[in-house]
Structure 1
């Protein structure tokens, strides 16, 4: 309560007024819901909303308006169906979609890593993990039901996002088999009957409604020519879509969740307004949705392209909403502003540069498996479809180099000519290798654009936009991961992030994956980069500052520093001797009794060997690996798959975790200042030819001699002269 009062005192008047209006509207809606006056009767729906005469032909007229839309009205109508399906069958692994669709026909889906059954009737309100039903009350009462606090609402929401309907719809599109369309409309009828307007938790989040609406839109347009899309079913679904749009327009997340939530809601409003002109509010929704997207694009993405939430899954979630709306507007022959196009191109450039050599993204920030463009199969960290869209939209051959020609999204979203031009375009490698993203604070090292390149992503960015240094908790999807890094050796991921597990599950697991211990960074005693303020929330945030970024022919350096107070700080310097090895220098100033813990999280497929005598850790992932040589005396703790959250786990998706090695290197802070250098040497097929000889380590000075495949390196670092590297006796820079 005290935190809420503090937050209220800091709110601008406009936000207080908006939130007051929101609460008043919810009360009004609850009174109408309890009295049964919020249900839309058929006559009012026909005449007041659709502008049609309410008679025996009303549903037929509505049906005809939907199915007889002009060419290029939606993506599925912008190309010749038979020709496109043939191309998809030539280019993509489409039979996997059919297998998945056949599983869905049997009622089986995979949701948030769990095998589940598609609900029916009242089970749409059932928590599929705990087996406990959410109350079928007014949506706010249902969401806040005290006896449901142990349940994670994400699971019941996820099933009602209906994104698996898109899988069925694609199967119908490609095969023409009516059984897939029949299943879609059976599910829709069942859901609508079990979830009357404003009844139950499936109406409690505007974003959930937005994602569900978009799923329905794709399913409807894919199945427009199905015999199971009757006038009765069409009217039923369109009426529910209208109710979804009405709720979203009344409950936009301007202040409560102004990032990916607001973007998803705006995109859904725009799509609904543009695609269903029969609704009386369509023009308003279309304009409101687009204006919000336009006005907020520079608030959603930094000028360097990364999303302000500092979470790469949400980066693509937000980006997918924007791209979908933009492409529809473009299909309708309407202009898109240069400012929006420029910012979205930057967002795609960030995705291109952040991608690892194995084509997956580094795990940064929260994850909830959300996809705004529900293509390209099951959950993964592979977002190449987005750069494929960008390759066509912005005519970027370097984007095509990343996406290849197997990105499913492009074959559903573009015209025949655009696809033809894309396939004829010769891809080119991106011009830059290592790249700085100053505003968001990410610094990417790589030595090539092949699938066997060495790669490191260094995080020197803020925890997330909108957080503060005071004691007032604020929600954010960013983690306490400042000065962490992720590393691939010869294309194989070795050091990765701990990831993220759940929002509403056991709190110790939720908390662990957001704090320093789950990232490749340092915990400075009891000091924190950000203080945990409850689920989603941070307070007393300390953000790092960049102290150096320098690229030369053979040497690349990034360095950052985070200050905990007037005395304590952590400074990390990342030095890449191109094509050979990394030097990581950590300098920590702390209280005399603080222990320093340096964490390393290894890919779940990696194996490790710890040699404490020679102060060396060897990791391998297949025939590629990394040697980590440490010079500071430390206690080494290795954990994998233990019961506790910190027991060695990688949470690669929501509710999904795998055992993986976590090493904690503990240095006893008997002195005020600790300097700990680390050498990290990638190897391929064999570790032979890599050795270490003389080294010297003082309080802040260091030198070491390394032999790598017949080359001798002398590396030194001092406060006075900085970094020096000799290769076979010659200075390199």
Structure 2
């Protein structure tokens, strides 16, 4: 892409905010913005740090949670800080500036002089930022709280001294992002609440000065955040200012507090949907914002807006199955956290449980032992209201939340992605994920990277890596740079169908309507105890490519796809297609469980032509329930006859079961 074309694409992606962003970038590159920040932070006086009670346990920490903390602290000391599933040693000051993908270190000029975005950048800055969020500093503080007089106090002080030496004010990548500064302030607030009395005076003094300078930095840069970062960044930056105000004893009625509160409230109103889902089309960022809401609550905000949003966000994750086991990694995934946990960084259950407890929705006594989030941030069990358990949904259950449908039948958990949002989304409309027992069968491919190789970034987030149809082989959305899209789409999740022993979930989208002659695509998924069948209808009948991402470990034997980790299951209806696994050029056939890591996995691609519906699926080898009959656009599976009628603003699915006909709608005017 030429420079002119790239600038034009940037302007299209930014829309009405393009002038604001351009003005900000000009000020940053000219040094004018830096001069304002330097003047503001240089004049800051050390803050007087105060105990924030919400971050110090008011009762005994559950023994299991305490044990996890001490074990984690030992690993931090012996092996290093946890970053994306790896342990990164911090033995010298420069280790805080690690470039994780090839072992170099970020330089320490003024932050606005560092290139983190162009092809000339030193590496992926996300590694250093994850290290600098100080999750492990909080864990060491917890260990010092649990075992005073042990080695933890010395290790905590040593690492903080190295930090202050490595990150002088406004120098280095750790001052580049306002969100990272805000999250670090929240972490230090927890450290101070847990063990301020055992921190050496020089460490407390350095922290007090840095907190004061962070407040000035966030305030000076806040107009940019408000105008250009209307997503989790705005919530996080406002939360950081409010946390620092509370941390330093600032008045809730001060001008700074009022500015931050108004910004947080306005973005929260834009951010949340009535069912608890968010504009962040990412399960990782959903958890991230849920944790911001819990911190806001722990700072003393018991307002209906915050409690309702916190409870709704937690219930959305619960409906999607977060308390029952792993759920798909929709959208960008980077382990983003505001809270600290020594548990599995991929697990969503602890944050979900904490949101339910703090909003008074439900509480299971087991959560205080199972989840660090509940053990360290929730009140003692006796201070919580009614106790309920989080049982697995009953057999043949279906729920829709945030446009995502989840069907649970027997050992099958199946999700149909019929929702979307403007932030951190992937090109995954009508993507199908499926788990059989505790084993993944059809997967979301993950994220891979943000600021690494652009071909890797796009390979994971575009529609070729997801389970769906690509009309004329085109991508569902047109990507631009690492985070933006030049096109968008409308998607509607239909009313689910339930019969005895089966569930049908379905959705329709218009992602390809941007192309002349291209119509909409509708997808239905039939789920029974024996397996699942996917049916696709194309409004225009144009040729398409069907892509399917399978779980790592899938084998192709005698032209049949066998899921090696799920004996007795086969994938049907995909014979004759091509398969790619672990390919570097062009990049394809990979699965990323967490940010920065990947392993080979099979991506399938099969040509689709004609006007008839397309059928494929996964079922037990011996089952005949999912043998489909196709007659044009009429498909019969598991005794359910389905047909699709596209109409202005949506679609209708005509379903016949046992001689009875029902019409289910999706889109404008849907019931």
Same topology, TM > 0.5 = yes
Q: Residue 254 of structure 1: SS of its match in structure 2?
A: helix
Q: Distance in 1 between matches of 2:501 and 2:74?
A: 54
2:189 to 209, 217, 224: 217
The alignment status of 1:368 with 2:334, answered yes or no, reads yes
Q: Residue 243 of structure 1: SS of its match in structure 2?
A: helix
1:540 Cα deviation after fit:
2.1
The alignment status of 1:586 with 2:548, answered yes or no, reads no
Aligned 1:334-373 pairs, distance under 5 A: 336-355=302-321, 358-373=324-339
Partner of 2:261: 290
Q: Distance in 1 between matches of 2:326 and 2:373?
A: 17
Partner of 1:576: 526
The alignment status of 1:256 with 2:219, answered yes or no, reads no
Q: Distance in 2 between matches of 1:13 and 1:637?
A: 43
1:543 to 467, 490, 496: 490
Q: Residue 192 of structure 2: SS of its match in structure 1?
A: helix
- Greater mean deviation of Cα atoms: 689-698 or 298-307: 689-698
Q: Residue 58 of structure 2: SS of its match in structure 1?
A: coil
The alignment status of 1:653 with 2:587, answered yes or no, reads no
The alignment status of 1:410 with 2:360, answered yes or no, reads no
Conserved 8 A contact 2:81-2:87: yes
Partner of 2:548: 600
Partner of 2:296: 325
Conserved 8 A contact 1:357-1:488: no
Aligned length, in residue pairs: 644
Partner of 1:311: 282
1:701 to 604, 624, 634: 634
Conserved 8 A contact 2:447-2:457: yes
Partner of 1:446: 408
The alignment status of 1:455 with 2:413, answered yes or no, reads yes
Conserved 8 A contact 2:79-2:89: yes
Q: Distance in 2 between matches of 1:22 and 1:640?
A: 41
Aligned 1:485-634 pairs, distance under 5 A: 485-546=432-493, 548-551=495-498, 554-563=501-510, 564-565=512-513, 566-576=516-526, 578-588=528-538, 594=543, 596-604=544-552, 606-612=553-559, 617-619=561-563, 621-622=565-566, 626-630=569-573, 634=575
Conserved 8 A contact 1:108-1:115: yes
- Greater mean deviation of Cα atoms: 258-267 or 509-518: 258-267
Conserved 8 A contact 2:532-2:626: no
2:246 to 249, 257, 274: 274
Conserved 8 A contact 1:121-1:190: yes
Are the structure 2 counterparts of residues 667 and 526 from structure 1 closer, same or farther at C-alpha, using a change threshold of 3 Å? Answer: closer
Partner of 1:40: 42
Conserved 8 A contact 1:487-1:493: yes
Conserved 8 A contact 2:550-2:601: yes
Partner of 1:707: none
Are the structure 2 counterparts of residues 76 and 538 from structure 1 closer, same or farther at C-alpha, using a change threshold of 3 Å? Answer: closer
Structure 1: runs of 5 or more not aligned = 51-61, 331-335, 466-475, 705-712
Q: In the TM superposition, what whole-angstrom CA distance separates every residue of 1:65-102 from its partner, at most 9, and x where no partner exists?
A: 74xx5xxx42344514xxx14xx21x43x434323312
Aligned 1:33-72 pairs, distance under 5 A: 40=42, 45=45, 66=50, 69=51
TM-score, length basis structure 1: 0.79
- Greater mean deviation of Cα atoms: 497-506 or 108-117: 108-117
1:222 Cα deviation after fit:
1.6
Q: In the TM superposition, what whole-angstrom CA distance separates every residue of 1:95-146 from its partner, at most 9, and x where no partner exists?
A: 3432331232246223224442216234444424334443322211124697
Conserved 8 A contact 1:135-1:200: yes
1:536 Cα deviation after fit:
1.0
Partner of 1:54: none
Q: Residue 557 of structure 1: SS of its match in structure 2?
A: strand
Q: Residue 395 of structure 1: SS of its match in structure 2?
A: coil
Q: Residue 225 of structure 1: SS of its match in structure 2?
A: helix
Q: In the TM superposition, what whole-angstrom CA distance separates every residue of 1:273-331 from its partner, at most 9, and x where no partner exists?
A: 11211x6999444443333322221212222212212100000111101111112215x
CA RMSD of aligned residues (A): 3.5
Partner of 2:614: 676
1:238 Cα deviation after fit:
0.9
Q: Distance in 1 between matches of 2:108 and 2:56?
A: 39
The alignment status of 1:391 with 2:391, answered yes or no, reads no
Q: Distance in 2 between matches of 1:518 and 1:187?
A: 41
Q: Distance in 2 between matches of 1:390 and 1:180?
A: 30
- Greater mean deviation of Cα atoms: 641-650 or 514-523: 641-650
Larger relative contact order (C-alpha < 8 A, sep ≥ 6)? 2
The alignment status of 1:425 with 2:387, answered yes or no, reads yes
2:582 to 641, 647, 663: 641
Are the structure 2 counterparts of residues 268 and 514 from structure 1 closer, same or farther at C-alpha, using a change threshold of 3 Å? Answer: same
Q: Distance in 2 between matches of 1:37 and 1:219?
A: 29
1:696 Cα deviation after fit:
4.5
Conserved 8 A contact 1:562-1:571: yes
Structure number with greater Rg is: 1
Conserved 8 A contact 1:603-1:660: yes
Q: Distance in 2 between matches of 1:19 and 1:719?
A: 47
Conserved 8 A contact 1:675-1:699: yes
Partner of 2:58: 79
Are the structure 2 counterparts of residues 383 and 123 from structure 1 closer, same or farther at C-alpha, using a change threshold of 3 Å? Answer: closer
Partner of 1:667: 607
Partner of 1:118: 90
1:569 Cα deviation after fit:
3.3
Partner of 1:435: 399
Q: Residue 690 of structure 1: SS of its match in structure 2?
A: coil
1:142 to 101, 108, 114: 114
Are the structure 2 counterparts of residues 175 and 529 from structure 1 closer, same or farther at C-alpha, using a change threshold of 3 Å? Answer: same
Q: Residue 165 of structure 2: SS of its match in structure 1?
A: helix
Q: Residue 493 of structure 1: SS of its match in structure 2?
A: strand
Q: Distance in 2 between matches of 1:532 and 1:693?
A: 36
Partner of 2:216: 246
Q: Residue 445 of structure 1: SS of its match in structure 2?
A: strand
Q: Distance in 2 between matches of 1:694 and 1:127?
A: 52
- Greater mean deviation of Cα atoms: 153-162 or 15-24: 15-24
Q: Distance in 2 between matches of 1:343 and 1:109?
A: 32
Structure 2: runs of 5 or more not aligned = 646-652, 663-671
- Greater mean deviation of Cα atoms: 102-111 or 344-353: 102-111
